[in-house]
Structure 1
Amino acid sequence: MADLHLVVDRAAGGVAAQIARELREAVRRGRLAAGVRLPASRELARDLGLSRGVVVEAYEQLVAEGFLISRVGAGTVVAPVASRPALPGGTSRTPENRGGTPENRGGEEEREAHLGRRSTAPDLGAFPRERWLASMRRTLAALPADALDYGDPGGVQVLREELAAYLRRVRAADVSPDNLVVVGGVAQGISLTIQALAGRLPRGRSPHDLGWYVRRAARPVPAPGRIRLAVEDPAGGRQLPLLRAAGADLVAVPVDGEGVDVGALAASGADAVLLTPAHQYPTGVVLSPRRRAELIGWAAATGAAILEDDYDAEFRFDRDPVGCLQGLAADRVILIGSVSKSLAPGLRLGWVAAPPEIAESLRLARGELDLGSPVLEQYVLADFVTTGGYDRHLRRMRREYRARRDAFALALGEHLPEITVRGVSAGLHLLAELPYGWDEEAVAETAQDCGLAVEPVGPMRHAPGPPALVMGFARLPARRADATIRALADALSPGG
């Protein structure tokens, strides 16, 4: 346990803030290394001659900032990402040795701990460790030994049952355990689905051919083993190589204020379309009811497939989440989701709800390619959903993310009023439209230097568009939003 040497001036007031500052600097300077356990709050309060509540407040502040980790039964320890070794020559990574304004000189350590670099990243510090651990303990206590053998490559039965019930209840999906396949995240789900549609996977046990989705009389015929896939414009670029490798010839279809342009989609001759209707990335647009109807009509008339990436569906702030497209046309829409935003990307747990022949094809493919997803994690997630832990966590994070979104948007409006904010009704990011003439690459770099999770939209566009940024707010505590955005405004000013 660490011996702390804290200087506290009771006459100056703000004693909890003083304790937090002293501990923060001790971590930054390397005096408190990662993993070091701090004294119990009651013990430190006694040593300092203070009330325990003051020490608890200081500890809670540093836990919220990411410097400390507090676990029931394990005490309070220094977080792994908080402490950094001194630089060569004895120069430490302290505010005095970095540039920038005092408000923004949190350091690389704070930025890494809070914000990350991906605008879509959730707050991983909010992962419900205690409840997840409780689910794991219950699972290990009750799980028979045989259940730890290779499982059904399509996913263990109990998880498919829980996910199907959850998706019916929360997403208004038309799904059963039999047409739901557990996959290693959305990326794998999309890749396998495209391969199935392109005829690259084993055929499902169905009287229908996998060509159920295609009526090609009036469309270009793709090369064998490939499909013509429409993607939203703009769209994230990270997935495009994956789509092409899976067998998709891509065609960009514009997105406007209501979502994807269905008229342009119909003219594209696509066999399928990949959409993010709950909260389009990067524009933040929620697909309008009119476009939803038009999309279903297009798929029914052409035999095309709709791949619905249920991106950000859990986090709708202005109303209850909108039901998924798949619930309107389960024979044409393939719903793909995961717990990457709601819990953590590293869990690599997702699902595909598809027509029976596609679902069976995916299950067979997983049996041939990798024997399915990790079994234990599937049982733990099933318990987490069954016991209500998942619902409680989502309710808590909706409140927290909404508060962070509100503070972030308010700060942008106050300090950078020339920026137009859009796409704030859902999700973990917003779209910041810049004035014409602004260099979005330069602004994005400046914002990143200020510790923000920001990406320029230009590289995501097929057709030219106004300068804009995708700005993530999920890892920025509401109390820090004003100072961070003010620092960005100062850096962007002519004298900054």
Structure 2
Amino acid sequence: GLRTRPLAVDDAGARTQDLAGPVGAGAGAVLLTPAHQFPTGAALTPARRAAAVDWARSTGALIVEDDYDGEFRYDGQSVGALQGLDPDRVVYLGTASKSLAPGLRMGWMVVPPGLLDEVVAAKGRTDWTSSAVDQLTLAEFIRSGAYDRHVRGMRLRYRRRRDELVAAVSGRVAVSGIAAGLHAVLDLPAGTEAAALRSAAWQDLAVVPLSFFAHPDARLPRREALVVGYGTPPTSAWSATLAALLAALP
């Protein structure tokens, strides 16, 4: 099967400069979320974007760019796609699961020209569930500009939610990873994570510890924090959900 290695992440995003060392030795590809690293929310800096492209060019490897939450950026201008730096070395991935609905089960790939035939053939062999009508409808929705208009409206809605979440927890916990996306990271006082998780579970809140997302081989310092999504609750339940979260926090 596929073997993966962890690539360290800090406030400037994935440490792509480390790819020149043992972590990148012999690797055929690296998976990055440059626009909004999950779950920390860090955006990859220009220097680290350049380091990733330089590594891919020098080794012949690919960069798989998951444009995670790239359409939901609230603060500052869009950071742009890494794929634009080298279309021959980057496979760009996008999805409508958050902007429209996860039930669509549809996304898109922009692949280097040399991989196109192989990717199309692989999709034909393995994808038996994506309706051709749904795919054509989504393509027209995007082509017409209606998708972009829809995303702009959703961005305003989720920005309001983000601002309400940040205001509600202000003074209680530190918040990070909120420049984009539909989740926030809430840092907790030492020794309080387990109790907060139990309290959240009793109130049917689906929050998870930050450590849940660590690679099995990663060596990380202990950080007590919760990853909290704010996109799922319907409008009618948002206030009650926010109140339940506040009750679960230390």
Aligned residue for 1:352? 109
Aligned residue for 1:467? 224
Does residue 1:374 correspond to 2:138, yes or no? Answer: no
Offset of residue 420 of structure 1: 1.3
Alignment partner of 1:248: what SS? coil
Distance 1:384 1:443, change over 3 A: same
Assess if the C-alpha contact under 8 Å between 1:408 and 1:481 holds in 2: no
Residue from 179, 182, 196 that aligns with 1:425: 179
Counterparts of 1:348 and 1:485, CA distance in 2: 28
Name which of structure 1's ranges 363-372 and 459-468 shifts more when overlaid on structure 2: 363-372
Counterparts of 2:240 and 2:100, CA distance in 1: 28
Offset of residue 338 of structure 1: 1.3
Deviation digits for residues 194-230 of structure 1 (CA, Å, limit 9, x no counterpart): xxxxxxxxxxxxxxxxxxxxxxxxxxxxxxxxxxxxx
Deviation digits for residues 393-424 of structure 1 (CA, Å, limit 9, x no counterpart): 1111000000000000110114x2xx211011
Does residue 1:436 correspond to 2:190, yes or no? Answer: yes
Counterparts of 2:52 and 2:32, CA distance in 1: 10
Offset of residue 362 of structure 1: 1.1
Offset of residue 434 of structure 1: 1.4
- The structure that has the greater radius of gyration is 1
The amino acid across from 1:291 in the alignment is: R
Assess if the C-alpha contact under 8 Å between 1:279 and 1:313 holds in 2: yes
Alignment partner of 1:311: what SS? coil
Counterparts of 1:379 and 1:488, CA distance in 2: 40
Assess if the C-alpha contact under 8 Å between 2:72 and 2:181 holds in 1: yes
Counterparts of 1:441 and 1:385, CA distance in 2: 44
Counterparts of 1:347 and 1:444, CA distance in 2: 31
Deviation digits for residues 65-113 of structure 1 (CA, Å, limit 9, x no counterpart): xxxxxxxxxxxxxxxxxxxxxxxxxxxxxxxxxxxxxxxxxxxxxxxxx
Offset of residue 379 of structure 1: 1.9
The amino acid across from 1:450 in the alignment is: Q
| TM-score for both structures, normalised by structure 2 | 0.88
Aligned residue for 1:3? none
Structure 2: 5+ residue stretches without partners? none
Residue from 133, 138, 142 that aligns with 1:385: 142
Aligned residue for 2:33? 276
Alignment partner of 1:384: what SS? helix
Counterparts of 2:158 and 2:187, CA distance in 1: 21
Assess if the C-alpha contact under 8 Å between 1:254 and 1:261 holds in 2: yes
Aligned residue for 2:59? 302
Counterparts of 1:477 and 1:410, CA distance in 2: 19
Instruction: Kindly report which structure 2 residues correspond to 1:241-252, keeping only aligned pairs within 5 A, or say none.
Output: 247-252=1-6
| TM-score for both structures, normalised by structure 1 | 0.46
Counterparts of 2:117 and 2:191, CA distance in 1: 52
Distance 1:491 1:460, change over 3 A: closer
Deviation digits for residues 206-259 of structure 1 (CA, Å, limit 9, x no counterpart): xxxxxxxxxxxxxxxxxxxxxxxxxxxxxxxxxxxxxxxxx4211111100001
Deviation digits for residues 135-155 of structure 1 (CA, Å, limit 9, x no counterpart): xxxxxxxxxxxxxxxxxxxxx
Instruction: Kindly report which structure 2 residues correspond to 1:107-118, keeping only aligned pairs within 5 A, or say none.
Output: none
Structure 1: 5+ residue stretches without partners? 1-246
Assess if the C-alpha contact under 8 Å between 1:457 and 1:470 holds in 2: yes
Distance 1:333 1:476, change over 3 A: same
Offset of residue 357 of structure 1: 2.4
Offset of residue 426 of structure 1: 0.2
Assess if the C-alpha contact under 8 Å between 1:325 and 1:333 holds in 2: yes
Assess if the C-alpha contact under 8 Å between 1:278 and 1:287 holds in 2: yes
Alignment partner of 1:336: what SS? strand
Offset of residue 373 of structure 1: 3.5
The amino acid across from 2:219 in the alignment is: A
Counterparts of 2:36 and 2:108, CA distance in 1: 18
CA-based RMSD: 2.3
Offset of residue 333 of structure 1: 0.8
| Identity %, equivalent residues | 46
Instruction: Kindly report which structure 2 residues correspond to 1:442-457, keeping only aligned pairs within 5 A, or say none.
Output: 442-457=195-210
Number of residue pairs matched? 243
Offset of residue 441 of structure 1: 4.0
The amino acid across from 1:312 in the alignment is: D
